[in-house]
């Protein structure tokens, strides 16, 4: 375990915006080293102020390419930008992946930008408490905007909505069936839909489908009406690009909406609620497993489940009962 003094020094450097310190602290938090509690407790008071923008959508929809342009726009506005790419396919992390590295490389030398990819531990678009913690670290670093790219399949529950202030869903032409399937959940998922690759065939049809899907959804008075913005995010000439300015403006407008209607309070509440639940789950599990260590009981429980004599729910109930009762008697 690193000495507390080293951690304190790293944290001070983090507060000063040092990217090396950020990388080192993120690695500790991501790997849940023993001192990650201490790190989180110390940085927490400096967090909670950033604008968190979620970008989700299916693989290859253009999330990273759009992120690249958004970074540029926010930098032009003088804002600092942190980017987290949650990659479900890779068990590795510790830096941007090759593809993202290429797409986002023009920002790597900019001190006002910090980009990091994280493994999502296997579940589709799933966010672990480590992801929440890493976002907090980027906030403590002083990033004004934090973009979180996650893979999402549309109608599935998407964790990012619990964290992001503004959630962008990246769709592409020819998603007809998916759009039908998404209809019901679309309002819950997206504040803004980017119909990317609008240079491709079928873009107009998809745009109409999306607009129809949005127009039939019922809105309460004063509620934010999600909008579709057609985008083209690659091209050999700058004039080939489309919709990027509109996308950046829509994010700003949505932020203004959140603040003027005080909906931001609800967003903040939900984020902490989710975070608290995750930390609680992690810590309870850690405590229980620590208590079982050396007793051989964990192995016995697992084997009894494999042999069909027991199931995980009964085991957890039994452990919790024993543990909580014993604690109470003390
Ligand atoms: N035709 C066209 N291609 C695009 C557009 N935007 C991105 N692409 C291409 O689509 C591919 C995927 O883009 P990415 O930005 O990596 O997509 P992603 O959603 O981040 O992909 P994953 O992170 O792998 O899920 C790349 O080859 C891009 O060049 C666009 O507007 N039009
Ligand atoms: Mg990507």
Structural domains for the chain: 48-261 (3.40.50.300), 273-329 (no CATH)
Query: Is ligand 1 within 6 A of the CB of residue 117?
Result: no
What was the pLDDT predicted at 101?
A: 56
Q: Distance between CA 88 and CA 101 in Å, rounded?
A: 17
What was the pLDDT predicted at 62?
A: 92
Long-range contacts of 219-226 (CB under 8 A, 24+ apart): 219/187, 222/261, 224/191, 224/254, 224/257, 224/263, 226/186, 226/187, 226/190, 226/191, 226/192, 226/193
Ligand 2 mean position to 249 CA, how many Å?
22
Determine phi and psi for 176, rounding to 5 degrees. Answer: -35, -60
Strands, E, within 7-80: which ranges? 51-57
Contacts of 153 (CB under 8 A, 6+ apart): 58, 124, 125
What was the pLDDT predicted at 182?
A: 61
What was the pLDDT predicted at 167?
A: 92
Q: How far is CA 160 from CA 40, 104, 152, 184, 322, in A?
A: 20, 21, 9, 18, 36
Positive or negative: CA dihedral 254, 241, 169, 113: negative
Query: Is ligand 1 within 6 A of the CB of residue 62?
Result: yes
pTM over 0.85: yes
Q: How far is CA 106 from CA 54, 239, 256, 259, 310, in A?
A: 21, 19, 29, 32, 55
Query: Is ligand 1 within 6 A of the CB of residue 69?
Result: no
Positions in the chain short of pLDDT 70: 1-2, 88-105, 120-127, 153-158, 175-188, 325-330
Residue nearest atom 11 in ligand 1 by C-alpha distance: 60
What was the pLDDT predicted at 158?
A: 61
Ligand 2 mean position to 96 CA, how many Å?
10
Ligand 2 mean position to 65 CA, how many Å?
7
Positive or negative: CA dihedral 301, 129, 151, 229: positive
Query: Is ligand 1 within 6 A of the CB of residue 199?
Result: yes
> Would you say 57 and 170 are in contact if contact means Cβ atoms under 8 Å apart?
yes
> Would you say 138 and 50 are in contact if contact means Cβ atoms under 8 Å apart?
yes
H/E stretch holding 147 reads strand 145-151
C-alpha of 137 from chain center: 13
């Amino acid at each position: 375990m690193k000495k507390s003094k080293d951690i304190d020094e790293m944290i001070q450097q983090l507060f000063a915006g040092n990217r090396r310190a950020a990388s080192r602290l993120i690695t500790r938090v991501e790997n849940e080293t023993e001192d990650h509690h201490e790190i989180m407790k110390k940085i927490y008071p400096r967090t909670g102020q950033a604008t968190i923008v979620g970008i989700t959508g299916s693989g290859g929809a253009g999330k990273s390419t759009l992120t690249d342009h958004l970074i540029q726009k926010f930098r032009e506005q003088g804002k600092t930008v942190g980017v987290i790419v949650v990659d479900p396919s890779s068990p590795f992390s510790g830096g941007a992946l090759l593809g993202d590295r290429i797409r986002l490389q023009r920002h790597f030398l900019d001190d006002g930008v910090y980009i990091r990819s994280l493994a999502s531990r296997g579940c589709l678009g799933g966010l672990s408490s480590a992801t929440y913690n890493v976002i907090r670290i980027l906030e403590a670093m002083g990033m004004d905007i934090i973009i979180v790219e996650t893979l999402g399949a549309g109608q599935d529950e998407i964790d990012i909505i619990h964290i992001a202030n503004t959630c962008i869903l990246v769709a592409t032409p020819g998603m007809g069936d998916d759009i039908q399937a998404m209809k019901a959940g679309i309002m819950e998922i997206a504040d803004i839909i980017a119909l990317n690759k609008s240079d491709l065939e079928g873009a107009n049809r998809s745009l109409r489908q999306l607009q129809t899907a949005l127009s039939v959804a019922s809105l309460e008075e004063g509620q934010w009406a999600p909008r579709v913005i057609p985008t083209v995010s690659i091209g050999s000439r700058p004039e080939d690009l489309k919709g990027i300015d509109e996308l950046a403006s829509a994010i700003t407008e949505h932020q203004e909406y959140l603040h003027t209607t005080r909906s931001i309070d609800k967003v903040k509440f939900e984020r902490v609620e989710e975070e608290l639940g995750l930390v609680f789950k992690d810590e309870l599990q850690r405590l229980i497993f620590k208590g079982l260590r050396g007793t051989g009981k964990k192995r016995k429980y697992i084997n009894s489940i494999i042999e069909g004599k027991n199931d995980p729910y009964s085991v957890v109930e039994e452990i919790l009962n024993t543990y909580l009762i014993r604690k109470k008697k003390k």
